[in-house]
């Protein structure tokens, strides 16, 4: 049986918030089975606990923000992607500010820290949302769908009208190893021409060449260049992994995104949760010893109705 996981011990991450520009520290600690991912704003009196679920999303402008009782935590997508990529279902996150630290602009620092502390298997089976019927959300010229599949896959078609950023397409068949190797290190990116406007509107105050890929009119401004030739679309897929995890369960389905972002990702999750006729919660009976995050890698992994 594929069981839920949590951390073996606590792990601490500290850094600056990309949009707030404020220093923040957060401590991730083990949680019981069935807890999910819960943020605790420990800098507030009394502290406020916010479950990382789609129903608590309050803002999707340039990042994903969750909130409850007037308290918020923003830019959660990279950390959520790292937790998903490491197969961690349950964790408490004590955070002393309003935004998850941006680290180097990717999920890689979180993945490294989580791998170092390790995971512990819990006593409840891991459940998956198995997509049975297609679901599509359209917003203008943007579109995102999820269709039935034997695996969790994300295909992303990215389009930008900029000489440096060409149209990029990539498809990822999700696995812990593949995510860590090929997607976790892809950094957030932005255009130099937009930086002053963003800062004037209270955004990107903590942004720098140390935590984002900055695109000028004639090239990439970062001294080391790109980590991957198609780093931009890899980052979009990484963001999607984090955003879609707010459904509360891993998917067995193929997500197809065209020019999507945090807002459309959230709308898809909301639509999926509302369309209960299009999916079933099922748990995997794993007789092969394969990682729980790898649905149906071989005929040895059979499905049983939860």
| DSSP string of 152-217, one letter each residue | -EEEEEE----SSS--EEEEEE--HHHHHHHTTTPPPEEEHHHHHHHHHTT-STT--TTTSEEE-S
Answer whether 3-125 and 127-305 agree in fold: no
pTM above 0.85, yes or no: yes
* CA contacts within 13 A on the Cβ side of 20: 17
Do residues 66 and 73 lie in contact, with contact meaning Cβ atoms separated by under 8 Å? yes
Residue with tokens 């049986």: 1
Residues facing residue 211 across a β-bridge? none
Tell me what pLDDT residue 202 has.
Answer: 67
Is residue 53 pLDDT above 70, yes or no? Answer: yes
Q: Would you say 266 and 62 are in contact if contact means Cβ atoms under 8 Å apart?
A: no
- Could you give the angle at which helices 77-85 and 108-117 cross, rounded to 10 degrees? 40
CB 38 within 8 A of CB 155: no
| Residue 210 confidence (pLDDT) | 87
pLDDT at position 302:
30
Looking up tokens 């997508």, which residue turns up? 77
Report whether 191 contacts 215 (CB < 8 A). Answer: yes
Tell me the mean pLDDT in the region 10-18. 95
Q: What is the pLDDT of residues 159-209, one digit of tens each?
A: 988 878 879 999 999 999 999 999 999 999 988 877 767 667 666 677 788
Q: What is the Cβ-side half-sphere exposure of residue 16, based on CA atoms within 13 angstroms? A: 16
Percent pLDDT > 90 in the chain is 76
Active centre residues (catalytic):
262
In the chain, where the domains are located = 3-125, 127-305
Cα–Cα distance measured from residue 273 to residue 244, given in angstroms and rounded to the nearest whole number? 11
Residue position matching structure tokens 């129903």: 55
- Cβ atoms of 39 and 49 within 8 Å: the answer is yes
* pLDDT higher than 60, residue 305: no
CATH of 127-305, one of 1.10.645.10, 2.40.280.10, 1.10.260.30, 3.30.1700.10: 3.30.1700.10
> With 90 as the cut, is the pLDDT of residue 25 above it?
yes
Give CA–CA dist 170/157, Å, rounded: 7
Name the pLDDT band for 9 (thresholds 50, 70, 90). Answer: very high
| DSSP assignments along 69-95, one per residue | TTEEEB--HHHHHHHHHTT---EEEEE
Question: Which CATH fold topology does 3-125 show?
Answer: Ribosomal Protein S5; domain 2 (3.30.230)
Specify whether the CB–CB gap between 122 and 94 falls below 8 A: no
């Amino acid at each position: 049986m594929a069981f839920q996981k949590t951390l073996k011990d606590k792990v601490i991450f500290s850094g600056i918030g990309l949009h707030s520009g404020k220093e923040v520290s957060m401590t991730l600690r083990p949680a019981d089975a069935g807890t999910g991912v819960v943020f605790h704003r420990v800098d507030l009196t009394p502290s406020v606990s916010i479950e990382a679920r789609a129903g608590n999303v309050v803002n999707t402008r340039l990042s994903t923000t969750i909130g409850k009782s007037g308290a918020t935590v923003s830019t959660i997508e990279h950390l959520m992607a790292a937790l998903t990529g490491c197969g961690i279902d349950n964790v408490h996150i004590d955070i002393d500010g309003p935004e998850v630290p941006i680290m180097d602009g990717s999920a890689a620092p979180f993945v490294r820290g989580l791998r170092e502390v390790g995971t512990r298997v819990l006593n409840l089976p891991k459940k998956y949302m198995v997509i049975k019927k297609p679901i599509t959300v359209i917003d203008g010229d943007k579109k995102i769908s999820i269709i039935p599949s034997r695996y969790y896959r994300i295909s992303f078609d990215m389009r930008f009208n900029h000489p440096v950023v060409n149209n990029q397409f990539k498809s990822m068949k999700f696995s812990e190893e593949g995510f860590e190797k090929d997607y976790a290190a892809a950094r957030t990116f932005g255009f130099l021409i937009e930086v002053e406007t963003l800062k004037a509107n209270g955004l990107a105050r903590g942004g720098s060449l140390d935590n984002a890929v900055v695109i000028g009119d004639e090239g990439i401004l970062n001294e080391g260049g790109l980590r991957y030739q198609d780093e931009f679309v890899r980052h979009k897929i990484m963001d999607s992994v984090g955003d879609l995890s707010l459904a509360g369960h891993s998917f067995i389905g193929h997500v197809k995104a065209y020019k999507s972002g945090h807002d459309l990702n959230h709308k898809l999750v909301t639509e999926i949760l509302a369309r209960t006729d299009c999916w079933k919660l099922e748990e995997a009976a794993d007789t092969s010893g394969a990682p729980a995050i790898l649905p149906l890698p071989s005929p040895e992994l059979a499905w049983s109705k939860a």
